[in-house]
Structure 1
Amino acid sequence: MHSVAALRPGLHSTRLIGVRDHPAREPQSMTTIIPARSAQKFLSVLPHVCGYVPRLSLVVVPIVDGRTAGVARLDLPQDEEAWGEVAATALGIVCRLPDAGRFAAVVYTDDPFVDRDGAIAFEGFMGYLRERADHCGVEVVDALCVAADGWGSYLDDPSPEHGRPLDEIAFEGALPEGVEPTPVRADQGDGAELPACDLAEKERLGRALAEIDRACAALGSDGDESGIAGIHPRALATACLLGQIPEVFEESLAWDVEALEPYLAGAVAWALNRPFFRDVALSQWSADIEEGYETLAFNERWRAGHRAEPTGPVRLMGEGPRPDADRLERALELVRRLAAAAPREARVGPLVAAAWLSWALGRATHAARYVALVAEIDPEHGLASIIASMLEASYLPPWAFERP
């Protein structure tokens, strides 16, 4: 994958503008303006915007009405042949935002601040990006570099001897009093690892899934109930819940993932491994239980042969209003736990859900990690392949371009 982009509407900053509260915490909250009137202040706050310290990245900060309209991260181009693709993706993100005619750009590199030719690291690429921006009628208000041994602006002295000290831009304590700090991960890949689960939890979920499979097969055997003998009553009760699976999906957002009830957790894992129910879960978690039931009804009509187009937004493609990030966060925490605890083949559904939820939250690097884990088990998985294609194309959810 050459480049990955993620647009996060939130903390608004550059040296010319202000800062918003973290989007993953309160996406519908009132705007809190935090002045960031210097490049140093901007770079100190930026990790709080992203939720991590970017690494080997180009970070693009579009500006609308004097405030930033989000943050996009792309992989740094590793050679000159990739400049055009990365620049086009960055400018495409800026131009898709209504009224965004300006942006700030930051390179994060592990290279020294000054390269062998005496120029700032990646100065050639940044010059190319600025040139392409000018051709598109987009203004670059600042272009900064954070390197292994210093930082500075590409718009300052064209022949710098060294960068400014990195300790000037420490993100800890960067937010003013009264603004709640947000967790800042080590880099964009940090946090993608699945949680640790002990063997007992894995065995409980594995047994529950096997029993639910048996119960579903028995209850679907043309009214012959002889097959239910010996099936655990909890498995039978769980199988009977599938007609009301949106209720389970909704309740699951409040579960303690450290103490999951095996059969209820098994119901969600079982459902996520079946596209018929998985699409209901993802649509519902990105909206509400009413949308879950609507998606379930649509899938039932489709299975019965009615091929009408959906009457509402297709959530799986990022359509509709921006989701409540808290709901997506809770769902992601659950499916990551299920993926960690489920038997190998049953991990696919929760992993795909984790990939989609990460993409919806603007964590393309995490989404790519989960897609890769799915490919190890099922290389031809449909939704995983679609997510991989969206990531490869740096395709973002349309709601990412809505003004909050």
Structure 2
Amino acid sequence: MTEHELDSRPVVRCRGAADFLAALPHLTGFTATDSMFVISFVGARSGPAVRIDLPESEDPGETLSLLDFVSNLALDLASQQGRAVAVAIVITSSASFSADDGPPWHRLARRVERRMRRDGIEVRELCIVAADGWVSLFEPGAPRTGRALSEITESPVARGALRHAEPPVDLSRLGEIPDASLARAAAVARSLEQHAPLHFPDSERVPPQCSEFGNTSDEYLAWIAEAGAMARELRGSAPITADASALLIRNAAHSDRWLVIALGLLTRPEFPAELAAELPVGKFSRVPIDFPADQAFPAGQSTASPPRSQLGWSMYRILNSVCPEFAEQGRLRGVCDRLIETIAATPEPLRPGLLCLSAWVWWLYGNQTVARRHVHEALAIDESHELARMVHRLTSKPLYHRLTSGSAPRRDAAPQTRSRRAAPR
């Protein structure tokens, strides 16, 4: 699929800072306060956008990791693109111009600007949006008391290209699990009665993992294909039936099937079955969910040669290895919505598997905040849920983690350029 085919949303042409600020929530997909948004530009078109929590204060010690992150992000994106990348910086704050006697977070904004220019990164725009006004710090003679917020909401872009666009949701409500209708919940409950919980295949029906390559078991491949069908259901556009929801609930509760669904979402729904047919039979059965992150090795044993029980793959190792290379975030938003719809109609005790899947998809989509919220909901239902604990570990670092030290602030990334909601130009 080409970039043009993936990006069917309108391109928004911004003539000034107010237009740009009006378009920003439609680029990121949400609004958020007390945040810094870093929007990249390659030429005239916007690329990835990242939201970062504001630090506790503007003190240099509190802001150093943020400055490092923004600089490394821009340099890494430039390396990926093979050309210079510019950035626009927008700080949103619940503070006010009147209380701060000027733009809140002004010192942080100027500190980021100096750091970017020192590192050879073009800063295309630098704005502060507060509770009672906004300002572009690049505007000569900008009023110290800020401009009226109505200039954003009534800008040409807001009244034109985005007039009929769906209003973006606040980050605090993004990914919120609604209450399902009584009829929908009852229909799913009836379907669950028709589909018993799924178990691992009987051991005697699955040849040992040392089987010859290409040796297959019909039952083994059948359950992998069934789980792959759940990925196809999530990637579809037709309404999810109560029966399909029940099957998804049962499959997501089974760790091996959960992994197959995840791989089907990462690649193609058919891919796990195709891969299983080429590997020794049983390779997708009883896959370890995770190995202890702080595994204590016996005295005298080097960490370079872990116990035999920790050799090979685990769900964490697979996902931690392949997810950073995923670049089709644009097709995941529909998956997020369909998972939320299904979770809403799921009895609470059966939700952890689906919440883990939803958390992982939101994280892969680029929103660490919603991912963490969903995995915490799963752990609130079952604090010992092994899959939830693995997803909690996986999503504790954003997909941009390779750019930053462990002290970097929490961040959320909007989809890549090919999947933007509306790209300011």
Scaled by the length of structure 2, the TM-score of the pair is 0.70
* Counterparts of 1:196 and 1:91, CA distance in 2: 42
1:169 to 148, 152, 159: 152
Counterpart in the other structure of 2:90: 106
Aligned pairs (5 A) from 1:235-254 = 242-245=223-226, 246-254=228-236
Give the deviation of 1:58 after TM superposition: 0.5
Structure number with the bigger relative contact order (C-alpha 8 A, sep ≥ 6) is 2
Aligned pairs (5 A) from 1:234-313 = 242-245=223-226, 246-254=228-236, 256-257=238-239, 260-262=241-243, 264-294=244-274, 300-303=282-285
* Range 362-371 or range 289-298, more displaced: 289-298
Give the deviation of 1:351 after TM superposition: 0.7
Q: Give the aligned residue type for 1:103.
A: V
Q: Secondary structure at the match of 1:145?
A: strand
Change over 3 Å in CA distance of 1:324–1:400 after alignment to 2: closer
* Counterparts of 1:339 and 1:255, CA distance in 2: 17
Provide the aligned length of Structure 1 versus Structure 2. Answer: 358
Asked if the contact 2:56/2:62 (under 8 Å) is kept, the reply is yes
Identity of aligned residues (%): 20
Asked if the contact 2:39/2:47 (under 8 Å) is kept, the reply is yes
* Range 375-384 or range 355-364, more displaced: 375-384
* Counterparts of 2:117 and 2:136, CA distance in 1: 18
* Range 149-158 or range 381-390, more displaced: 381-390
Asked if the contact 2:37/2:90 (under 8 Å) is kept, the reply is yes
Confirm or deny that 1:339 pairs with 2:319: no
2:181 to 179, 198, 203: 198
* Counterparts of 2:365 and 2:139, CA distance in 1: 35
* Counterparts of 2:380 and 2:48, CA distance in 1: 33
User: Cα deviations across residues 286-319 of structure 1 (Å, max 9, x unaligned)?
Assistant: 3322323246556932538997679xx9566424
Counterpart in the other structure of 1:395: 399
Confirm or deny that 1:61 pairs with 2:39: yes
Q: Give the aligned residue type for 2:231.
A: F
Change over 3 Å in CA distance of 1:172–1:256 after alignment to 2: farther
Q: Give the aligned residue type for 2:330.
A: A
* Range 267-276 or range 82-91, more displaced: 82-91
Confirm or deny that 1:127 pairs with 2:105: no
Give the deviation of 1:195 after TM superposition: 2.8
Q: Give the aligned residue type for 2:87.
A: F
Counterpart in the other structure of 2:24: 46
* Range 29-38 or range 55-64, more displaced: 29-38
* Counterparts of 1:221 and 1:30, CA distance in 2: 48
Change over 3 Å in CA distance of 1:199–1:400 after alignment to 2: closer
Change over 3 Å in CA distance of 1:220–1:171 after alignment to 2: farther
Q: Give the aligned residue type for 1:303.
A: S
Q: Secondary structure at the match of 1:289?
A: coil
Asked if the contact 2:362/2:371 (under 8 Å) is kept, the reply is yes
Give the deviation of 1:175 after TM superposition: 6.1
Confirm or deny that 1:77 pairs with 2:61: no
2:359 to 331, 355, 377: 355
Give the deviation of 1:148 after TM superposition: 1.0
Change over 3 Å in CA distance of 1:161–1:247 after alignment to 2: closer
Q: Secondary structure at the match of 1:89?
A: helix
Aligned pairs (5 A) from 1:137-148 = 137-148=120-131
* Counterparts of 1:161 and 1:149, CA distance in 2: 12
Aligned-pair Cα RMSD in Å: 4.0
Give the deviation of 1:220 after TM superposition: 5.0
Q: Give the aligned residue type for 1:370.
A: H
Give the deviation of 1:101 after TM superposition: 4.0
* Counterparts of 1:389 and 1:248, CA distance in 2: 24
Scaled by the length of structure 1, the TM-score of the pair is 0.74
Q: Secondary structure at the match of 2:179?
A: coil
Change over 3 Å in CA distance of 1:350–1:129 after alignment to 2: same
* Counterparts of 1:279 and 1:54, CA distance in 2: 32
Asked if the contact 2:38/2:49 (under 8 Å) is kept, the reply is yes
* Counterparts of 1:340 and 1:194, CA distance in 2: 6
Counterpart in the other structure of 1:366: 370
Q: Secondary structure at the match of 1:301?
A: coil
Change over 3 Å in CA distance of 1:178–1:52 after alignment to 2: closer
Change over 3 Å in CA distance of 1:165–1:278 after alignment to 2: same
* Range 104-113 or range 90-99, more displaced: 90-99
Q: Give the aligned residue type for 1:90.
A: V
Change over 3 Å in CA distance of 1:388–1:119 after alignment to 2: farther
Change over 3 Å in CA distance of 1:154–1:174 after alignment to 2: same
* Range 158-167 or range 140-149, more displaced: 158-167
Give the deviation of 1:133 after TM superposition: 2.2
Confirm or deny that 1:86 pairs with 2:86: no
Asked if the contact 1:62/1:102 (under 8 Å) is kept, the reply is yes
Change over 3 Å in CA distance of 1:76–1:388 after alignment to 2: farther
Counterpart in the other structure of 1:234: none
Change over 3 Å in CA distance of 1:160–1:381 after alignment to 2: farther
Change over 3 Å in CA distance of 1:401–1:217 after alignment to 2: closer
* Counterparts of 1:332 and 1:277, CA distance in 2: 18
* Counterparts of 1:193 and 1:342, CA distance in 2: 14
Q: Secondary structure at the match of 2:97?
A: coil
